Amino acid sequence: MNQTDRNLGPIPFNLLPDSAEVGSRGELRIGGLAVDDLAADFGTPLFIYDETHLRSRCREALEAFGEGAAYACKAFLCLAMARLVHEEGLHLDVASEGELHTAIAAEVPGERIVLHGNNKSLGELSLARAHGVSRVVVDSFDELDRLRHLHSVDGVVASVLLRVTPGVEAHTHEFVSTGQNDSKFGFGLASGAATTAVDLARSNPGIDLVGIHHHIGSQVFRVESFAQALEIVVGFSEPLELPELSVGGGLGVAYLESESAPSIGEWGDIIGDACERLGVKARVSAEPGRSIAAQAAVTVYSVGTVKELAGIRTYVAVDGGFGDNPRPMLYGSGYTAFVPDRVTEPRPALARIVGKHCESGDVLVREASIPDEIRVGDLLATPVTGAYGYSMGSSYNRIPRPAVVFVSNGSARLVVRRETLEDLISLDVE
């Protein structure tokens, strides 16, 4: 295999779940269980989540933001995740009828749910009202009209936050930037749309306007961007004397050895300091998602092909791909890789880790440092895959989606079963 210009050591543990440790065979263990044993029991590809890690980050969010903390379900959601978040005292931030249905099926009370989305249908809004959802974050004038119409039918008054766009550059990928003036989300402050929305909401009999919401983007490392946005939004929101102010989510996480990111607690301190400086009287809330789920999981694959192209590169093909992690293909996101049953070994060799989908762009790790000897049948893992992997995945090429397990204190539980071939044709009509 091609050699890097440096001899990289073992995978750094700061990229792994909190409970990660090395076993007696030199294998990675998560939640007290060997990753290679879990792969043998549940098959590959496999998402392995450290349940203790998830609960710890939920508690950190609750300590940082108090009662207003909500988990952004788009990062990763299933029934078990919804129940876990609710058990830890966070609200659930849902952005679709499907996410809302999942929260309801997990028996999360409506008063612990916040409904988001830039294009909420009458059906979504009706389901939220029927379940007693506590807050609706309104994103457009059309939604204001829909709430007026629904009130004329059922008499229910919705507690509403208006989402505004502060015109702040989040310094992240353009696909996940949301706070700039040119955005599909929210009411612009600079354009005056936000002021108009406030007036219309206050005159709408179907709305109880309780607060202002903003969100500048996702995978944000430059925390000063949060403070900058807050300063702009507070200048608009505080004179309104509304009881609530949401700073949204978007805190970045480290995916590579070279990256570092603030913790949820540090993010909370930054927001708290800014609010104190600005004299914010409203209750401040936030919606962490990635920072709760991402580092909690690793994805384990089986190597199916090792292809040496002399003088060019080595391709290592695994049994997953962008169907379980589309972020590298969508955003050019960087990941690293390691062999989970040889976790302490150095990784001096260089290879491109690719999936099995029929696309040249199906690349999981463009330049992966791996051990010298990688063979067909070996396990290969990518860390920090707990957010926007499974949730954004697909069954392209009709490749079944992976299973998901939660591990804790020496036990594993299957929380999402592996998709079957029969599942793939279950919606087809002959």
Q: List the catalytic residue out of 58, 73, 275, 358.
A: 358
Neighbouring C-beta atoms of residue 14, cutoff 10 Å: 12
Q: Indicate if 275 belongs to the active site.
A: no
β-pair partners for 349: 3, 370
- Check whether the bond before 10 is cis (ω within 30° of 0): no
User: Residue 223, Cα to own-chain centre: how many angstroms?
Assistant: 18
Residue 139 sits at the vertex; the CA angle it makes with 136 and 144, to the nearest 5 degrees, is: 75
Distance CA 84, CA 130 (A): 23
CA angle, residues 167, 249, 297, in degrees to nearest 5? 140
Q: In 10 A of CB 10, how many CB atoms?
A: 17
Lookup: tokens for 153? 């039918």
- Dist CA 156 CA 348 (whole Å): 63
CA distance 104 to 132: 11
**Token duo for residue 390:** 């499974």
Output DSSP code: residue 343.
T
Gap between the Cα atoms of 119 and 280, Å rounded: 30
Known catalytic residues are 358
